[in-house]
Amino acid sequence: MVLCVRARAKYELESASYLWLMVEPAMQGAAHRVAQASVVTNPTVASEYRQDLYGNTVRLFVLPQGQFTFEFNAQVQVEPNTGVPPGAFEHSPQELPTDASIYTLPSRYCQSDLLARMAIDEFGGLPPGGGRVRAIAAWVRQHVEYRYGTTDAMTSAYDTATERIGVCRDFAHLVIAFYRGLGIPARYISGYALGLEPPDFHGYAQVYLGCAWHNLDATCADERPALIPIAEGRDAADVAVATLWCRSNMVEQSVEVWCNT
């Protein structure tokens, strides 16, 4: 399937500043390939790339004071999203590769140390494996209400476990914290999804089972038909779409994803 992606934003900067932008998927991922892509900015400014510790590509800008807009366009070839196989097995700690081990530890928004007892209490009795992982996502979908505008950048899994309301980011943080609480590596993915209502940047989880990473989007019962990852990290703190080093105001932002057929 070929998807078209367009992401736009306009910022008002109170002073000259730096911008880190993470809206561009890797050219080649496990389940996607970028056919063509472009970033246009106004004013036109030079940019350079850098890789972060997780292997994500960040685009760096030096911006003047005033308005700044960017528009990212891409055509991406995507394989259908398959979700977590119910039979995929959980690993013992000893078997985990290095880049999965790190994702068993607590992080800013996924305080798995605080949530481990709840995870064990609620899900410790289920048979390990993909079935349990899916059951946990179903639990979150059933017990947490999805409602736009109810949470903010400070809301964490610890809050959502009790407050039971939030958006995609909160759903992802909560399942990730539960998985880590059970020793299952889980990471946060920022990306694009087909069929979001309203359209926006998306956040979902990936879990490491059966020697592979699998997509887990706790916000929908069926699998999203297609997911395109932009960046991965321990939680949303690692994969912010835009980081600015000055007082600024986001005037507008829009994301569109559609099927090119």
User: For residues 175 and 226, which CB has a smaller minimum distance to a copy of itself in the complex?
Assistant: 175
Instruction: For the CB of residue 100, give the shortest distance to a copy of itself in the complex, in Å.
Output: 10
Binding residues for a copy of itself, rule: CB under 8 A, are: 18, 20, 50-54, 58, 60, 62, 92-94, 98-99, 101-102, 105-108, 111, 113-115, 117-118, 121, 143, 145, 153-154, 158, 161-165, 183, 234, 237-238, 245
User: For residues 81 and 156, which CB has a smaller minimum distance to a copy of itself in the complex?
Assistant: 156
Separation CA 230–CA 49 (nearest Å)? 14
User: For residues 32 and 91, which CB has a smaller minimum distance to a copy of itself in the complex?
Assistant: 91
User: For residues 73 and 101, which CB has a smaller minimum distance to a copy of itself in the complex?
Assistant: 101
Separation CA 160–CA 147 (nearest Å)? 12
Phi, psi of 118 (to 5 degrees): -65, -40
Instruction: For the CB of residue 13, give the shortest distance to a copy of itself in the complex, in Å.
Output: 14
Instruction: For the CB of residue 116, give the shortest distance to a copy of itself in the complex, in Å.
Output: 9
User: For residues 81 and 112, which CB has a smaller minimum distance to a copy of itself in the complex?
Assistant: 112
Q: Which amino acid is at 177?
A: A
Instruction: For the CB of residue 109, give the shortest distance to a copy of itself in the complex, in Å.
Output: 9
Instruction: For the CB of residue 53, give the shortest distance to a copy of itself in the complex, in Å.
Output: 4
